Amino acid sequence: MSPRPHTVTRGLTAAAAITLLTGAGIAVAAQQASAAAGCRVAYSVNQWSTGFTGNVSVTNLGDPITNGWRLTWSFAGNQRITQGWSATITQSGQAVTAVNPSWATGLATNATATFGFNADYSGTNAAPASFSLNGTVCTGTTPTTPPTTTPTTPPTTPPTTPPTTPPTTPPTSQPPGNKVDNPYAGARGYVNPEWKAKADAEPGGSRVSSNPTAVWLDRIAAIEGTTGSSSNGSMGLEDHLDAALAQGAGYIQFVIYNLPGRDCSALASNGELGVNDLPRYKAEYIDPIAAIQSRAKYAGLRIINVIEIDSLPNLITNTNVATCATMKSNGGYVQGVGYALNKLGAIGNVYNYIDAAHHGWIGWDTNFGPTADIMLQAAQASGSVRNVNGFITNTANYSALTEPYFTINTSVGGTSVRQSKWVDWNQYVDELSFAQAFRTKLVSVGFDSGIGMLIDTSRNGWGGSSRPTAASTSTAVDTFVNQSRIDRRIHAGNWCNQDGAGLGERPRSAPASGIDAYVWVKPPGESDGSSTLIPNNEGKGFDRMCDPTYTGNERNGNSPTGSLSGAPISGAWFSAQFRQLMANAYPPLS
């Protein structure tokens, strides 16, 4: 990640569930729709006093539908849909039409499409009496004679993206579903078999290879899965979810990471989408992810999404970089994150954690409050702050969890450690105190008091022979801090494949007040970026901050980068780094 300048209770609503099995149709978005010979619909709701979330699954029992589907029904009461996902939903009076999204126009025989919506109501909330798929009433069976009525003609020009405007009056209750206070508590994490195989192939790697790590969905192709990819892996989103079910895992972690103009201040983790590609981000990236994560077979699995690493904080500190200035002016980051939160937060078993940088980036007063404010803007753009379950700090970074030998209040010879070159007037010297303080700030600006924090401890252990064992006895503040600190980086702004780093705390839930979990979101052994230019087809550039010969810039105090040599592109396996992380692990490996 790029260099940077200067026990909680979540409220749960009572959920009422209604399930109706009937015939269901899904809508077409083409000039001539395929008729459905038979269909079945499962309709369920989770409701509160003034609103509800509807979940609809339609199964095609007839011949394959190849050029679009349309599902229609009528409400019996005053239900009013305010927001939908994984289909384009329109309503006229009591009549409702749901049309397939642009990325899923077909529906094979016995295939099922799932979508959902939020709605308001008063009085009773009766389920619709019937559904029709492409003009055929869904009875749950295949009729022996074809329907005599002509299917209603669908729109001649289907929308390319679902509605982008969230409801103006979002539900005031927790997003529906059986969401728990802390999704990590009492649950076993998913172990990515692709990462595990690489770790097991390293000497001693089996000591850590059974730890849960996150799966990075860092481009559109990663949703379906890739073949012969140079980084990350070949398994797709559905593959990982199915593997999690097979493992009996309680939770699985994904990194949602493909904003237009991604990581605007660092070349190593740039992405495939340009600064004006927000429609593609919505329709080709977020919508398919939401469609897969919302499938009924995954309803018992806690799906944890880490939302867009390094995005929103860049709008506070790095607008001197042209791409960052563009993303601030065009609203792409705020609207993109808002859209992701909106679509994913509506799924009852999905938990969203927004990336909140780290103390060495936004720990200064000038950055701390404004970053919390822009987080709130993105959450409000989603329709409800309750689409956010928490925040994560130190993702793919190296900031020490705690500094055992000094705090921000330590003075040396009457001089505060804040005046040292290393601390540089920051308000924090470690991630734990920063994460706890930032949580308090986020609640104060309008987030739910039940939010929890995550800290990525995958590479911030800083063990090994160079780890200090006691506070320095020096009376010079710079010498004292440099000899006492366990974070052995040359500068706190250094972030790429840091030499001397070690594995940190192993993943575990509820380790400290306000902290939902220590996590390994950055899988140890996956590179931050290449040491030299390596052409690739993943949109990942060469960043000099990954070059061990580079002498730095203003964002790292014109210091050497401290990066390891021989590194591949970001996300690719870096054996030398993995071995060093194990050697320098703290707590040490047995």
Residue 578 neighbours by CB distance under 10 Å: 23
Mean pLDDT, rounded, for 236-264:
96
| Lowest-pLDDT range of 221-225, 249-253, 552-556, 563-567 | 552-556
**Binning pLDDT at 50, 70 and 90, where does residue 184 land?**
very high
Name which CATH class applies to 16-137: mainly beta
Residues 6+ apart with CB under 8 A from 216: 222, 232, 254, 255, 257, 523, 526, 571
Does residue 579 carry a pLDDT above 70? yes
Lowest mean pLDDT among 37-51, 212-226, 307-321: 37-51
Q: Is 397 annotated as a binding residue?
A: yes
**Helix spans in 218-355 (H):** 221-224, 237-247, 278-280, 287-293, 314-317, 322-330, 332-345
Largest CA distance in the chain: 93
In the chain the first and final C-alpha atoms are separated, in Å, by 30
3-state secondary structure 414-475: CEEHHHCCCCCCCCCCCHHHHHHHHHHHHHHHCCCCCCEEEEECCCCCCCCCCCCCCCCCCC
CB 343 within 8 A of CB 167: no
pLDDT reported for residue 171: 34
Which residue's entry shows tokens 């006691």? 470
Instruction: Note the pLDDT of residue 35.
Output: 56
Report whether pLDDT(169) > 70. no
552: left (phi over 0), alpha (psi -120 to 50) or beta: left
CA gap 33, 41 in Å, rounded: 19
Q: What confidence score (pLDDT) does residue 103 get?
A: 67
Cα separation, 153 vs 570, in Å, equals: 48
For residue 52, what pLDDT is reported? 86
489 pLDDT higher than 80:
yes
- The letter for the amino acid at 70 is R
Portions of the chain given CATH number 3.20.20.40? 193-583
> ∠311-317-323 over CA atoms, to 5°?
60
| Token pair of 288 as six digits | 């398919």
Annotated binding residue at 495?
yes
* 530, pLDDT greater than 90: yes
Q: Where in the chain is the domain with CATH 2.60.40.290?
A: 16-137
DSSP type of residue 500: T
Please write the tens of the pLDDT for every residue from 436-454: 999 999 999 999 999 999 9
361 is in an annotated binding site: yes
Asked if pLDDT for residue 148 goes beyond 50, the answer is no
SS3 assignment, position 96: strand
Higher-confidence residue: 172 or 540?
Answer: 540
The predicted pLDDT at position 84 comes to: 78
Q: What is the pLDDT of residue 6?
A: 40
Confidence at 49, pLDDT banded by 50, 70, 90:
confident
- What pLDDT score does 303 carry? 98
| Predicted local confidence at residue 67, as pLDDT | 86
Q: Is the pLDDT of residue 122 over 80?
A: yes
Q: What is the C-alpha to C-alpha distance for residues 280 and 259, in angstroms, rounded to an integer? A: 10
Q: Would you list the DSSP string of 220-236?
A: THHHH--SS-SSS-S--
Which residues neighbour 535 within 8 Å (Cβ) at sequence distance 6 or greater? none
* Spatial contact of 536 and 571, defined as CB atoms under 8 Å apart: no
List the beta bridge partners of residue 73: 96, 131
**pLDDT tens readout for residues 61-85:** 988 898 899 999 999 999 999 887 7
**For the domain bounded by 193-583, which CATH number is listed?**
3.20.20.40
Among residues 63, 73, 15, which one has the least CA distance to residue 39?
63
- The residues that are catalytic are 263, 310, 528
Point out which residues pair with 440 in neighbouring strands: none
Output the pLDDT for position 541: 82
Report whether 358 belongs to an annotated binding site.
yes
Average confidence score pLDDT of the chain: 87
Residue 170 scores a pLDDT above 50: no
Find which of 9-18, 229-238, 551-560, 581-590 is predicted with most confidence, using mean pLDDT: 581-590
Residues 386-399 as b/e (b if ≥16 CB within 10 A, e otherwise) read bbbbbbbbbbbbbb
